[in-house]
Amino acid sequence: MFLVQGDTFECMVDLVRRTCSCGKFDLMKIPCMHAIKAGFSVGKQAHTLTDDMYTTASWRSVYEECINPISVPEDSWIVPSHVEQSKVLPPETRRAAGRRRKRIYETLEDKIRFSQGT
C-alpha cells in the first residue's frame, strides 16, 4: 500500500491488488499516474502493472477460433439484383451554425472532472 500525492488529491495505491483510490487503475486495468509512481518507487516497470488481458498471447487466444475466412471466393457469390442496384448513402446531418468551440484542458484530471460535470 502506498500513499501517492497527486496534483490535487492523495491516492492510496495497492500494487498487489492493482487498485487505486482514483478509480482509473481499477476501471481500465492500466496503471494510472499514481500506480506508475508507486511502481517506480519499488522498482517495477509500468508495463508490468497492466492486466494480462492486454498481452498479445491473451488477444491471440481470444480470437483464434472466432475469425473464420470466407471459403467461397468473391467471384462465385450470388447477390440479388435489387441489392446490387441499391444505392447506400450516408445519413443526412446538419452542422451547427457558428464556429466550433475548442476545449483546452490543462491536465487529464481536468478533462475527467469536466466530463463528470464537477
As a whole number of angstroms, the distance between CA 99 and CA 59 comes to: 42
In a domain, 74, yes or no: no
In a domain, 118, yes or no: no
pLDDT band for position 99 (cuts 50, 70, 90):
confident
Q: How far is CA 116 from the centre of its chain?
A: 17
In a domain, 103, yes or no: no
State the average pLDDT for the chain.
83
In a domain, 108, yes or no: no
In a domain, 20, yes or no: yes
Name which of 26, 34, 28, 29 is nearest 10 in CA terms: 34
Is the pLDDT reported for residue 104 higher than 80?
no
In a domain, 104, yes or no: no
- Total domains present in the chain: 1
Going across the sheet that includes 2-5, the strands are 2-5, 10-14, 19-20
Beta bridge partners of 19: 14
Q: How far is CA 54 from the centre of its chain?
A: 11
In a domain, 100, yes or no: no
Q: Work out the percent of the chain whose per-residue pLDDT is above 90.
A: 12
In a domain, 12, yes or no: yes
Mean pLDDT of 35-51: 89
pLDDT (tens digit per residue) in 44-90 = 898 889 988 888 999 888 887 766 667 778 778 888 999 989 999 99
Q: Domain limits at 5?
A: 1-67
pTM (predicted TM-score): 0.51
**Three-class secondary structure of residue 54 per DSSP:** helix
